[in-house]
Amino acid sequence: MTRDRIRSVTREFTGDGLRRVRELVEQTARLAGVSASNVRDLVIAVSELAANAIRHGGGSGRIVIEQTDEGVRVEVSDHGPGLPEFVSRELPAPEEINGRGLWMVRNLCRDLHITSTARGVTVRLFMPRAGRTA
């Protein structure tokens, strides 16, 4: 265990578990000292990612939430078909059906990393503690 690791939680989830995912993220971020507005943004972002995992990734997903001295790291993964090679960073046009979720997540969390393969998608986020920068 590294010095900065305070607490780590890993959970598998389905649609019935989205509420618990949001609660875990909120609780862990608050304990890590993340500001109230950033806690709210992180919960919204992770909720969107978890819903996407269920909708597009096979009906279930996995979340890892890690509290560190610097803030909170969150990883959401699924076993879906993966994302297209290019995912736009721009707001999708009004007639587009999909794409707003990742756009929103990118705007709520500055530190976002997406890994997409044929075996699924993993999205990693970090939200700093109050008084720190990402």
Token pair listed for 117: 């393969």
Q: Could you tell me if residue 20 is inside a domain?
A: yes
pLDDT at 87: 63
Are 74 and 46 in contact by the 8 Å Cβ rule? The answer is: yes
Dihedral pair phi/psi, residue 20, rounded to 5°: -65, -35
Q: Strands 71-77, 120-128: parallel, antiparallel or unpaired by DSSP? A: antiparallel
pLDDT at 133: 62
Q: Could you tell me if residue 12 is inside a domain?
A: yes
Q: Give residue 55's domain range.
A: 5-128
Helix orientation angle between 18-31 and 36-56, rounded to the nearest 10 degrees: 150
Q: What is the CATH number of the domain that holds 46?
A: 3.30.565.10
Q: Could you tell me if residue 120 is inside a domain?
A: yes
Q: Could you tell me if residue 134 is inside a domain?
A: no
Q: Could you tell me if residue 82 is inside a domain?
A: yes
> pTM of the full predicted structure?
0.86
What pLDDT band is residue 4 in, cutting at 50, 70 and 90? very low
Q: How many domains does the chain have?
A: 1
pLDDT tens, residue by residue, 42-75 = 999 999 999 999 998 989 999 999 999 899 999 9
